[in-house]
Amino acid sequence: MAVNERPSALLTDLYQINMIQAYLDHGEAKPAVFEFFVRNLPPRRGFLVAAGLAQALDYLDTLGFSDSEIDWLKSTGQFRKNLIDYLAGMRFTGDVHAMPEGTIFFANEPILRITAPLPQAQFVESRLINILHFQTLIASKAARMMLAAPGKVLVDFGMRRAHGAEAGVLAARASYLVGFAGTATVLAGERFGIPLYGTMAHSFIEAFDDESAAFEAFARARPENLVLLLDTYDSEAAARKVVALAPKLKAAGITVRGVRLDSGDLVALSKSVRAILDAGGLRDVTIFASGGLDEDQLAVFTQQDAPIDGLGVGTSLTTSSDVPALDCVYKLQEYAGVARRKRSAKKATWPGRKQVWRRYSADGRMAGDLLAREGDNKPGEPLLEPVMQGGKRLRPAPSLDDIRRHAKREFDRLPAPLQSLKPGTAYPVEIAAEIVELAAAFDRRMQAQSASAK
């Protein structure tokens, strides 16, 4: 099975294994704290939506090498015995703090923190980023589509051009958790219980010599939630065929529920097809649109009052096409009780283990965040909560419906400037004085060291 089973522990970067060798030889297995965060919000993103925690915890929960994986590592002749033995017995025994999936977050705010012996905490970096990055990317993109098309039924049609099997299935999950109605991807229905949507393809119509005959054959075969595809040859002509066919289908107990438009000027076509359907007595037949749509086009439909009831979005959603990657990292913030910091040009990080505190204004909207040291009490609501301790989950995973409710509550609390596709004023995220001082103290220590080395 390609998706959502225990992944091979070999899905990591070679340097993680190299570093573990050095950690083992040097006895560096003291507690390390790593945080996963996004360094900068990408263009046109006023906020991001945390997602992927369920799969991240599955990964940590089941981490371990199989005998055949260990045999392969041995067969390469590149790894010493103490390393192989360590990997063969490696389990994740650390603690995890995280924001619940569906939480809105901003640059520099950790959404997950790992506290574990250094080799373990180091090893899991590559796959943890791989898991958290992708669903967060897609949930954040899907959130824009929800903002652009309020009240519409949005469906994920994008598995085919998602980047591989896992991306196809997890994009369905990430978009559903922020409020999509469902997906076309059957495996996502089986794995996560996500509602499935599906109509017909142009090839179906083309396989028949006559379009009306194709409609009728499909209607009789799949009379439930019947949606007919109009644009194979001429959308308006096809709408008239649907009107002509509807009484015959009705006599057979079959109701046309909707039609789908997949090409052309969708605003104009939705209006002309709506008029044809209405004039033909098919006022209850809904119009579903698809075909290379993104949130900007969805916003145009909304602005122009296009009579479109539902939308299938594919590639732009499942590849997050305008921003196919986030500038996310998993960074060492503390080791052996001492705060650590990377100081590379333009990539410096805030040291220490952190909590994010969020304040709300009187009307319940998000008013500002504060990045503080863990343990310092600050005004507002802390966003990171313990989810795993000593390698054990602290509570059952929330259901996808629970996550959807949480995400909806988060959207309801978005300040107005962030509800636009072109976010205006940036949301305020302050760095607590204690964190700034921690960074300064670290820098002073490094400077003293480098001075004494000269």
Candidate list 139, 159, 293, 299; residue touching its own copies; CB under 8 A = 159
Within residues 396-435, the interface with its own copies by CB under 8 A covers none
Q: Is the Cβ of residue 248 or residue 347 nearer to its own copies in the bound state? A: 347
Looking up tokens 């469902």 gives: 182
* Inter-CA distances, 316 with 10, 42, 305, 415, 425, Å: 31, 16, 22, 25, 25
Amino acid at 98: A
x-marked contacts with its own copies along 33-52 as a string, rule CB under 8 A: -x------------------
**Bridge partner residues of 331 (DSSP):** 35
- Least separation in angstroms between CB 397 and its own copies: 19
Query: How far is 32 from 52, CA to CA, in rounded Å?
Result: 22
Q: How far is the CB of 217 from its own copies (least distance, A)?
A: 5
Tokens of 68: 């055949």
Q: Which is nearer to its own copies, 158 or 415 (CB)?
A: 158
C-alpha to C-alpha distance for 268 and 273, rounded to whole angstroms: 9
What string marks each residue from 1 to 40 as x (binds its own copies by CB under 8 A) or -?
Answer: xxx-xxxx-xxxxxxxxxx-xxxxxx-x---x-x------
- Choose which of 321, 389, 419, 420 interacts with its own copies (CB under 8 A): 321
For its own copies, which residue of 89, 247, 324, 364 counts as binding (CB under 8 A)?
324
Token pair 């079959």: residue: 254
Cβ 417 to its own copies, closest distance in Å?
27
Closer Cβ to its own copies, 132 or 277, answer by number = 132
Which of 251, 337, 345, 375 touches its own copies by CB under 8 A?
Answer: 345
Q: Is there binding between residue 268 and its own copies (CB under 8 A)?
A: no
Among 116, 167, 228, 287, binds its own copies (CB under 8 A): 167
**Options 31, 88, 222, 376; binder of its own copies; rule CB under 8 A:** 222
Return the number of the residue (240 or 413) whose C-beta is nearest its own copies: 240
Taking the complex as a whole, the smallest distance from the CB of residue 365 to its own copies amounts, in Å, to 32
**What's the sign of the alpha-carbon dihedral 162, 163, 164, 169?**
negative
Q: Which residue among 141, 152, 331, 358 contacts its own copies (CB under 8 A)? A: 331
Three-state secondary structure call for residue 159: helix
Residues 228-247 that bind its own copies (CB under 8 A): 231-234, 237
* Minimum CB–partner distance for residue 185 and its own copies (Å): 7
Within residues 126-155, the interface with its own copies by CB under 8 A covers 126-127, 129-130, 133-134, 137
Secondary structure, 3-state, 64-133 = CCCHHHHHHHHHCCCCCHHHHHHHHHCCCCCEEEECCCCCEECCCCCCEEEEEEHHHHHHCHHHHHHHHH
Q: What angle do CA 118, 81, 95 make, to 5 degrees?
A: 20
Query: Looking at 74, 250, 342, 392, which residue binds its own copies (CB under 8 A)?
Result: 342
Give the interface segment with its own copies, choosing from 96-104, 106-114, 183-191, 408-416 (CB under 8 A): 183-191
State which amino acid sits at residue 1: M
Site membership for its own copies, residue 303 (CB under 8 A): no
Task: Identify the residue among 90, 124, 146, 162 touching its own copies (CB under 8 A).
Answer: 162
Distance CA 179, CA 6 (A): 27
Helix (H, G, I), strand (E, B) or coil at 359: strand
As a whole number of Å, the CA-based R_g of the chain is 26
Each residue 73-92 as x (binds its own copies by CB under 8 A) or -, in order, gives ---x-x--------------
CA–CA separation, 342 vs 256, rounded Å?
Answer: 61
Find out whether 256 and 246 touch, Cβ atoms under 8 Å: yes
Q: How many Cα atoms sit within 13 Å of 303 on the Cβ side?
A: 8
Segment contacting its own copies by CB under 8 A, of 96-104, 330-338, 412-420, 432-440: 330-338
**Count of residues interacting with its own copies (CB under 8 A):** 112
Pairing of strands 95-98, 385-389: antiparallel
Task: Determine contact, residues 87/70, Cβ cutoff 8 Å.
Answer: yes
